[in-house]
Amino acid sequence: MDSLIILAIIGVTLALFICLFWNVVKRLLINSVVGIVLIILLNLVFGVEIPLNEFTVAAVALFGLPAVGTILILYLGGGFTA
């Protein structure tokens, strides 16, 4: 009987961990996709000529919107040239 209770506690704990982990991963994926779409829109629609190289795509894919904001500020300030 004790082993059944321990297994139930482990199962509930594991289910909660998976649920919390999925929520974090989902938020990060949404943030990355929105960041990539935004940097492409900045280039195509608004005419900001930020180069789409490995650095910018990796930064935007990892950090999302904060990376787009940082790259845009660096580009407009002259610290990030095409």
Predicted confidence (pLDDT) per residue in 24-49, tens digit: 899 989 999 999 999 999 999 988 88
At 78 the three-state DSSP class reads coil
Confidence check: pLDDT of 52 > 80: yes
- Average pLDDT for the chain: 89
Indicate if the alpha-carbon torsion angle 22, 28, 62, 39 is positive or negative: positive
- pTM of the complete model beyond 0.85: no
Q: Which residue has the higher pLDDT, 54 or 79?
A: 54
Range of weakest confidence among 18-22, 36-40, 75-79: 75-79
Burial 47-66 (b: 16+ CB within 10 A, else e): eeebeeeeebbebbbebbee
